[in-house]
A = this chain, B = another copy of it.
Amino acid sequence: MKKFIDSPDTLLETSLQGFAKAHADIVQLNNQPHFIRRNSVKAGKVALISGGGSGHEPLHAGFVGFGMLDAACPGQIFTSPTPDQMMAAAQAVDGGAGVLFIVKNYAGDVMNFEMAAEMLDLPNATVLVNDDVSLPKTHSIGRRGVAGTLVVEKIVGAAAEQGYDLAACKALGDKAVNATASMGVALSSCTVPALGHPTFSIADDEIEMGVGIHGERGRHTGKLVSASEIVEQLAGHIHEELNPHSGQQVLLHVNGFGATPLVELHLVYELAWQYWHKRGVNIVRSLVGNYTTSLDMAGCSLTLTLLDVEMLRLWDAPVNTAALRWGC
């Protein structure tokens, strides 16, 4: 394992300290338990909290700030955060209008956020993100939450900033989840520091279609084909799921898993743009880059969100976080 690391035991804590220092104008780090929170709480605003295993940076801590999250609870790498983190975060950023949890659909995350919600002495609600179409809708534990989580956090974050109440934020979050579909492909595995070796093996001429953001198997292991063929497959499954009509306004998000250069991500974006352009879909907003990563995995995902007037307005609203910033 070749990594910048002193010890797997101290990596996350030291990294969080660095993150908080580098972005001290926006966030601060709470210790015991760990969470990243906005510098200031806005009274009367619904508080938005997310979290999950680390290793997907900038998700979620990089999305804490004006117009997006109020706090993020980082677990150890690829490990769920604990209920005490979520409760402490909720109490710290509560603005008196309730707390909304945005949770990616993984058993540990769901269980711990549920536990925190039950024990919390504040009005609260949860939006469950399950945008990964590589698994069937009927899958026993449901579909995974992947790169579409950013879209949900951005849109609901803007709404909360604009004064939507808890019920309206929850309804909007569910609408954004239903309008969003993602699918990813891995060219390489990734290495969890505490493990010290790649989490799965993949041959030099193979790719993993429908991979999860922790390297979970998806649709199938296939041969390495051209970028055009890969994009056809990913976009095809997403298109089938969302079935956008001709003229439909959409957001297209190409997300890198960590080790794929931007020159390739922009190639993938162009090919995906062509795919939907041919079908009359109107790509009005775009986001290309490494936002929901899997440590040092090479690969990427496509995310499409069907935008209505409200969601487009909220996507465009000002945001000021470490990783997403405009209009501020």
Contacts and interface: CB of A to CB of B under 8 A. Distances in A.
Number of copies: 2
Nearest to A295: B261
A66 to B, nearest CB: 12
Interface string A11-52: 110111111011100000000000000000000000000000
Contact of A288 (B18, B228, B263, B325): B18
A279 interface: no
Contacts of A265: 4
A293 to B, nearest CB: 6
A200 to B, nearest CB: 14
A5 B230 CA distance: 10
A93 to B, nearest CB: 22
Q: Which has the most chain B C-beta neighbours within 10 Å: A12, A55, A187, A259? A: A259
Contact of A2 (B4, B12, B187, B266): B187
B77 A263 contact: yes
Contact of A295 (B21, B226, B263, B293): B263
A149 B262 CA distance: 18
A18 to B, nearest CB: 3
Interface stretch (A119-127, A174-182, A269-277, A303-311): A269-277
A53 to B, nearest CB: 11
A188 B259 CA distance: 12
Interface string A226-254: 11101000000000000000000000001
A270 B187 contact: no
A262 B57 contact: yes
Contacts of A262: 57-58, 62, 290, 293
22 contacts: A2-B204, A2-B207, A2-B224, A3-B260, A3-B264, A4-B230, A4-B268, A11-B264, A11-B267, A12-B263, A14-B267, A15-B264, A23-B286, A57-B261, A57-B266, A58-B262, A77-B263, A259-B259, A261-B295, A261-B296, A296-B298, A325-B325
Given A15-B266, A54-B263, A57-B263, 11 more contacts: A2-B188, A2-B207, A11-B263, A14-B271, A15-B264, A16-B266, A18-B268, A18-B269, A21-B283, A259-B259, A261-B296
Interface of A: 2-6, 11-12, 14-19, 21-23, 54-55, 57-58, 62, 77, 187-188, 204, 207, 224, 226-228, 230, 254, 258-271, 273, 283, 286-288, 290, 293, 295-296, 298, 300, 325-328
